């Protein structure tokens, strides 16, 4: 059996039904096998970066491992941004790359790149396959590594001669063969006991939940926990959806563009229970002034994340779901009426609001209308920038795995291909990418992919003619010296959509918003809607980079 066939059979053993990718010379033996493949569906992208983001969106929306494929050299290097995006956000993908023949490695052969060396800092692990007989065990190991512990990307580099090589018998291993890799899922009982004592003593506790809660499917346990100890709960960007938006204890997102009341709650608390979050700088602001009165319990499956940025009092290493189950068993029911009253007063006093002094649609209103019409089962992807933060603030998420966004790396161009990946994985769901007019152009060529496979992804472009978040920073911190952020009139998005074979709409008036959204949601093909929003709408509130969480800029829009 050829190495290429061995690879496909190994992927099928891991339950792979979808690959996103692009062909190339060294991959010809593999594509020759794909030609007759029935169980695995291959989606031809228009740029390899799109393939990586599609695999990522597939993974985030399902919890399964996403798979992407690219040829050697530039094909492999085009995956790097998508791999780094998945690594920063702990998303399980397996990236398959072609490589020149083993005899040519190191000789600067045509389309050769040391992709294992290039990606070493942005993967959990990577492999250079030397012989066809190694493929089954490497695939078994790769999927195990990607999906266990703190999830993340794994890369397998496949030389041309390995794919063309033969072995007599295909035997897929029953288990991974990995010395020294043993993720810890069960928490230490003594640490649980210490945490319970601290929780029961606290007067002003708050739960700070991150993407780890969603990765471990622990949303139900999280809600039961905050209700049992009566603690307000706030989430990171990647934790959005872990708690329903309308839960009385939910405070929305915290941090740089978090709600004012979430930040005030963190700063005034005497106990922070961090679950599956890593105290990112966008969350903490100035670490010297972060939560000055609080003890900290930090629950994370990755021991290297604990006390890495903020020194914690009680570390608990383990899977979020398992730890929460233990805490629910051990902690007694608690009530904090005075604390909850104070937090709810902040919530009432400092709601998220929006307005715009200039002409144009209010972007926050558009997002609220999308949320109202799309329903709680819709999957929402975003690009990066103002569109991303407005979505995090104003979209009403009720369930996990419905919000797909590049958090740690902040990758412009992520949202649209991620939405395509999610649509492939969830063919019966409404999938929407909320984009900016700058970021959508990073991977807009994937409209061709969506049209080719009749994937009815909807794209809502919040078009303000600027690289909006950079413009906001230049306005606030650089005296309105708008350096190379004006992209107004750069493209007619309606004509561009039509050129690709998609449907395009342009919306300039408020009374058109609902009508066009309803029509777009009913069209069974890719749709792009160009919303002309207020040019100088900003994201408020805002904690300046390195500032303190309790010192938030509000801006004239919140006056």
- Does the annotation count 383 as an active-site position? no
| Cβ-contact 391, 381 below 8 angstroms | no
Could you write out the DSSP letters of every residue in 100-123?
Answer: --GGGTTTT-TT---HHHHHGGGS
Q: How far apart are CA 315 and CA 505, in angstroms?
A: 52
Written as six digits, the tokens of 420 are 């395509």
Q: Is the backbone of residue 479 left (phi > 0), alpha (psi -120 to 50) or beta?
A: left
Q: Where are the alpha helices (DSSP H) in 230-362?
A: 260-268, 281-284, 320-330, 337-349
Looking at 1, 39, 110, 498, which residue is catalytic? 110
Cα gap 538→468, rounded to integer Å: 8
- Owner of token pair 């006093």: 349
Looking at the DSSP bridge assignments, the partners of residue 202 are: none
Q: Quickly tell me which residue has 């700058």 as its tokens.
A: 438
Catalytic residue (choose from 54, 389, 469, 552): 469
Q: Return d(Cα 401, Cα 477) in angstroms, integer.
A: 35
What does each C-alpha distance from 541 to 9, 481, 552, 558 come to in angstroms? 52, 22, 6, 8
Residue 13 among the catalytic residues: no
Our answer to whether residue 160 is catalytic in this structure is yes
- Please state, in angstroms and rounded to a whole number, the distance separating the CA atoms of residues 378 and 431: 6
Phi and psi dihedrals of 378, rounded to 5?
A: -65, 150
Q: Residue 225 and residue 402: Cα distance in Å, rounded? A: 22
Residue 286 phi, psi dihedral angles, 5° rounding: -70, 115
Q: Which of 111, 228, 475, 554 is catalytic?
A: 111
Name the catalytic one among 48, 368, 383, 446. 48
Which residue among 160, 260, 369, 458 is the active-site one?
A: 160
- Backbone torsions φ then ψ of 255, nearest 5 degrees: 105, -155
- Strands of 11-54 (E only): list them: 18-21, 41-44
How many Cβ atoms are within 10 Å of 375's Cβ, its own excluded?
Answer: 11
Q: What is the dihedral of CA 425, 237, 48, 99, to 10 degrees?
A: -100
Catalytic site positions: 48, 110-111, 160, 469
């Amino acid at each position: 059996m050829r190495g290429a066939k061995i690879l496909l059979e190994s992927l099928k053993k891991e339950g792979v039904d979808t690959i996103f990718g692009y062909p190339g010379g060294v991959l010809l033996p593999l594509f020759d096998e794909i030609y007759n493949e029935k169980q695995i569906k291959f989606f031809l992208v228009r740029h390899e970066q799109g393939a990586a983001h599609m695999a990522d969106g597939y993974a985030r929306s399902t919890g399964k491992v996403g798979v992407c494929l690219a040829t050697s050299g530039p094909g492999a290097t085009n995956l790097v941004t998508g791999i780094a995006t998945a690594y920063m956000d702990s998303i399980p993908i397996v990236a398959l790359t072609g490589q020149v023949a083993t005899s040519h490695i190191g000789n600067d052969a045509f389309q050769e790149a040391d992709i294992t060396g290039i990606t070493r800092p942005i993967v959990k692990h990577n492999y250079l396959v030397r012989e066809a007989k190694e493929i089954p065990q490497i695939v078994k190991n790769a999927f195990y590594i990607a999906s266990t512990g703190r999830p993340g990307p794994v890369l397998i580099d496949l030389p041309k001669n390995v794919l063309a090589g033969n072995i007599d018998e295909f035997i897929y291993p029953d288990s991974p063969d990995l010395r020294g890799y043993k993720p810890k899922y069960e928490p230490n009982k003594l640490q649980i006991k210490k945490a319970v004592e601290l929780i029961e003593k606290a007067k002003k506790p708050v739960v700070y939940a991150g993407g780890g809660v969603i990765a471990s499917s622990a949303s139900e346990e999280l809600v039961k926990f905050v209700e049992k100890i009566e603690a307000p709960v706030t989430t990171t960007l990647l934790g959005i959806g872990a708690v329903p938006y309308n839960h009385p204890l939910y405070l929305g997102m915290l941090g740089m563009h978090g709600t004012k009341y979430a930040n005030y709650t963190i700063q005034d608390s005497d106990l922070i229970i961090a679950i599956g979050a890593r105290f990112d700088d966008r969350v903490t602001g100035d670490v010297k002034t972060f939560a000055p009165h609080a003890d900290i319990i930090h629950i994370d499956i990755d021991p290297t994340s604990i006390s890495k940025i903020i020194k914690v009092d009680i570390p608990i290493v383990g899977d979020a779901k398992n730890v929460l189950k233990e805490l629910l068993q051990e902690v007694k029911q608690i009530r904090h009426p005075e604390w909850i009253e104070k937090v709810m007063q902040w919530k009432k006093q400092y709601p998220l609001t929006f307005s715009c002094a200039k002409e144009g649609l209010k972007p926050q209103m558009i997002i609220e209308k999308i949320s109202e019409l799309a329903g709680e089962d819709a999957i929402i992807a975003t690009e990066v920038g103002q569109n991303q933060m407005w979505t995090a603030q104003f979209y009403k998420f009720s369930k996990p795995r419905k919000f797909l966004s590049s958090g740690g790396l902040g990758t412009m161009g992520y949202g649209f291909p991620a939405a395509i990946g999610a649509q492939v994985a969830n063919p019966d769901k409404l999938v929407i990418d909320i984009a900016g007019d700058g970021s959508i152009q990073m991977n807009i060529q994937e409209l061709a992919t969506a049209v080719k496979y009749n994937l009815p992804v909807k794209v809502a472009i919040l078009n303000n003619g600027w690289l909006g978040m950079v413009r906001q920073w230049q306005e606030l911190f650089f005296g309105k010296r708008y350096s190379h952020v004006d992209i107004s009139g750069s493209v007619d998005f309606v004509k561009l959509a039509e050129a690709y074979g998609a449907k395009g709409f342009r919306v300039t008036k408020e009374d058109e918003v609902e009508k066009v959204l309803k029509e777009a949601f009913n069209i069974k093909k890719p749709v792009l809607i160009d919303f002309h929003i207020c040019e100088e709408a900003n994201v408020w509130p805002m904690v300046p980079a390195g500032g303190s969480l309790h010192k938030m800029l509000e801006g004239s829009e919140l006056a």
